[in-house]
Amino acid sequence: MTKRPRIILHVGAPKCGSSALQSALSAAPRLKSKTGEVLSYSALRPSGTDWVPMTGRLVKIGRSMSVGGYVSCPNFLSKSVDGQKIAAGLDKIYQTATPGFTPVVSQEGWYSRAGVFQELLPHWFEPSATAPQIEVIAYVRPPIDWLNAAYFQWGVWSKQSVGTWMDRTNLSVRMGQVLKEWADLPNVTLKLRFGGDVVANFEDEYGVALPKLGALNSTQTPAMIGFLLRNSRFRSTGHDVETEFTVQRWCQFTHHQKPWALSPRHIAKFKDMLEGDIETLFDLAPQAADIALQDPRWTSYEPYYDVLAKGPSDLTNMSDLMELFDTIRDGLLRAQDQIRGARAEIPPTPTAGSDTETWDAAISVMLDQLIEADRKQRFGSLRKRIEKFTAELSFKGRFVKPAQHEQAD
């Protein structure tokens, strides 16, 4: 019996290793599994008013210019014109699925978009013996860890306290609830995994080998967050991430403290909801849940006693700010050594007893240079890749459409 084709949708969740997986897939967009199946990582790029597929070498080119070091698909909310065009681009990727050739797409915001997919792409969810099966893979992490990371990803940049942010969002998106919506759709197989190394899990799940690129989009240190809050031109919104990705690329923090925002009262307020949602998650994937139960953070608050006792992180600690100056300086010097044409003009180290504004000003001077050097490298790399790709296509006398299987890797 011929094996049914499938398309793999990685749907997040946010702050659960999505950037690391997307970066690894962008670096190796065409993979062959141990069984001989080809997995083709695809993304969508804007073209006029449309969204068109990109695969193979185009994915690598996109990755080389991306501030995050990866490409993925856009999120969409409804049947808006843009939503319909994103769906049309996804459908082109879906149509490439054949037995032995499996497209892979990714967007961490899709974890809560099962209903939108069903509205915009209804034929994906019609049971059929020959149509591609929809395989949804999602990764989640212990909810207290996720809440803390989510606040520093989104809430803190709105200048809201963690309590105000939690009250206003009311934690309206519950992982178990929204992932169950995916599991309940016809023609969908949900693979739910709990924590761990997302890239390694994907490799094991599909029998492929991915490049090891390290952590991406990890939460910044308390000192860096404090600096960015005081100097909003480097981080104007929750989605303005160029500075953070640039710093992660070039700067090595000796003591990478994880920032903490939650207090016992925050946890107590949503305790019943969180515990109920964990039960829903465990019901969706009983075998994976058995493994998750080995991690006490899923079932106990005891692993958080120490950090809760210490209280929220100090984002204005002066010794941490001084260490941040040294870290950014070293990163800028590293970039100068590795990027052709980059120049580092290091400001004098502020004297002992200097105020926060003086340290911020010195760090800002170096950050501006580091961001500019990083852009120079990314766009210089892009130019070289495009020139090489164009020369190859001219030599072959053909143009390879982004959605075709034969596209060069």
Helix (H), strand (E), coil (C) string for the chain: CCCCCEEEEECCCCCCCHHHHHHHHHHCCEEECCCCCEEEECEEEEECCEEEEECHHHHHHHHHHCCCCCCCCCCCCCCCHHHHHHHHHHHHHHCCCECCEEEEEECHHHHHCHHHHHHHCHHHHCCCCCCCEEEEEEEECCHHHHHHHHHHHCHHHHCCCHHHHHHHHCCCCCHHHHHHHHHCCCCEEEEEEECCCHHHHHHHHHCCCCCCCCCCCCCCCHHHHHHHHHCHHHCCCCCCCHHHHHHHHHCCCCCCCCCCCCCHHHHHHCHHHHHHHHHHHHHHCHHHHHHHCCCHHHCCCHHHHHHHHHCCCCCCCHHHHHHHHHHHHHHHHHHHHHCCCCCCCCCCCCCCCCCHHHHHHHHHHHHHHHHHHHHHHHHHHHHHHHHHHHHHHHHHCCCCCCCCCCCCC
Burial class (CB in 10 A: 0-12, 13-18, 19+), 206: buried
Per-residue confidence (pLDDT) for residue 340, from 0 to 100: 80
Q: For residue 72, which of 106, 112, 27, 28 has the smallest C-alpha distance? A: 106
pLDDT at 33 over 50: yes
Q: For residue 182, which of 252, 116, 235, 129 has the smallest C-alpha distance? A: 116
Q: Which amino acid is it at 235?
A: R
pLDDT at 188 over 90: yes
More confident residue, 293 or 394: 293
Burial class (CB in 10 A: 0-12, 13-18, 19+), 261: buried
* Residue 121 structure tokens: 């792409």
Mean pLDDT across the chain, nearest whole number? 89
Read off the pLDDT band of 170 (50, 70, 90): low
CATH architecture of the region 6-206: 3-Layer(aba) Sandwich (3.40)
Read off the pLDDT band of 407 (50, 70, 90): very low
Name the β-bridge partners of 43: 54
What is the per-residue pLDDT across 55-86, written as a single tens digit (0 to 9) for each? 999 999 999 999 999 999 999 876 677 899 99
Read off the pLDDT band of 381 (50, 70, 90): low
* Residue 402 structure tokens: 């982004």
Per-residue confidence (pLDDT) for residue 369, from 0 to 100: 96
What is the per-residue pLDDT across 313-336, written as a single tens digit (0 to 9) for each? 999 999 999 999 999 999 999 999
What is the per-residue pLDDT across 234-277, written as a single tens digit (0 to 9) for each? 998 878 899 999 999 999 988 778 899 999 999 888 888 888 99
Q: CA–CA separation, 53 vs 44, rounded Å? A: 5
What is the per-residue pLDDT across 84-93, written as a single tens digit (0 to 9) for each? 999 999 999 9
More confident residue, 382 or 133: 133
Per-residue confidence (pLDDT) for residue 174, from 0 to 100: 84
Per-residue confidence (pLDDT) for residue 357, from 0 to 100: 98
Asked which of 170-174, 347-351, 362-366 is least confident by mean pLDDT, the reply is 170-174
Most confident segment among 25-29, 386-390, 395-399: 25-29
pTM, full prediction: 0.89
More confident residue, 171 or 129: 129
What value does the mean pLDDT take over residues 14-32? 96
pLDDT at 132 over 90: yes
Read off the pLDDT band of 127 (50, 70, 90): confident
Cβ-proximal residues to 268 (8 Å cutoff; 6+ apart), any chain: none
Residue 210 near residue 28, CB atoms below 8 Å: yes
Burial class (CB in 10 A: 0-12, 13-18, 19+), 7: buried
Per-residue confidence (pLDDT) for residue 405, from 0 to 100: 38
What value does the mean pLDDT take over residues 227-239? 92
Q: Which amino acid is it at 61?
A: I
Read off the pLDDT band of 116 (50, 70, 90): very high
Per-residue confidence (pLDDT) for residue 379, from 0 to 100: 84
Give the angle 30-12-229 at the CA atoms, nearest 5°: 115
Residue 30 near residue 128, CB atoms below 8 Å: no
Name the β-bridge partners of 46: 51
Q: Which amino acid is it at 48?
A: G
Read off the pLDDT band of 2 (50, 70, 90): low
Read off the pLDDT band of 195 (50, 70, 90): confident
Per-residue confidence (pLDDT) for residue 397, from 0 to 100: 43
What value does the mean pLDDT take over residues 204-222? 84
Domain boundaries, the chain: 6-206, 222-257+317-391
Per-residue confidence (pLDDT) for residue 79, from 0 to 100: 66
Q: CA–CA separation, 292 vs 359, rounded Å? A: 44
What is the per-residue pLDDT across 289-311, written as a single tens digit (0 to 9) for each? 999 999 999 999 999 999 999 99
pLDDT at 223 over 80: yes
Cβ-proximal residues to 304 (8 Å cutoff; 6+ apart), any chain: 144, 267, 297
Per-residue confidence (pLDDT) for residue 403, from 0 to 100: 39
